[in-house]
Amino acid sequence: QVQLVQSGAEVKKPGASVKVSCKASGYTFTSYGISWVRQAPGQGLEWMGWISAYNGNTNYAQKLQGRVTMTTDTSTSTAYMELRSLRSDDTAVYYCARDHLLPTGVDYWGQGTLVTVSS
């Protein structure tokens, strides 16, 4: 069965960086993409970006351009999302989700990773 298992919770200071991992299993990793979605406390879902696990092509939400980098390691079927220059409003649960070789909607979700940004 398809599973996406994310790394554990993080606490970071403003200005620091965080890197969240997402290990995929139960399907051919390079036949799909991974989208990253975040959810601030009490708020809705926000699409952050997408990466093709086939060729590494990426697309990022405009508001995060320059601060976010998404990568994959096909040898371990793991996707990564790094967010830099963290601010307090980056405090959120970050989800990875399986998407397609072009972003056309996610169909499996990871369990989420809470990132808290606090001085």
Partner 1 sequence: QPVLTQSSSASASLGSSVKLTCTLSSGHSSYIIAWHQQQPGKAPRYLMKLEGSGSYNKGSGVPDRFSGSSSGADRYLTISNLQSEDEADYYCETWDSNTRMGVFGGGTKLTVL
Binding site for partner 1 (CB under 8 A): 35, 37, 44-47, 50, 59, 61, 95, 97, 99, 102-112
CA gap 36, 17 in Å, rounded: 16
Toward partner 1, which CB reaches closer, 14 or 56? 56
Toward partner 1, which CB reaches closer, 35 or 78? 35
DSSP code of residue 61:
-
Instruction: Give the shortest CB-45-to-partner 1 separation in angstroms.
Output: 4
Toward partner 1, which CB reaches closer, 88 or 104? 104
Q: How many residues comprise the chain?
A: 119
Instruction: Give the shortest CB-35-to-partner 1 separation in angstroms.
Output: 6
Which of 51, 95, 53, 92 is closest to 69 using CA atoms?
51
Instruction: Give the shortest CB-99-to-partner 1 separation in angstroms.
Output: 8
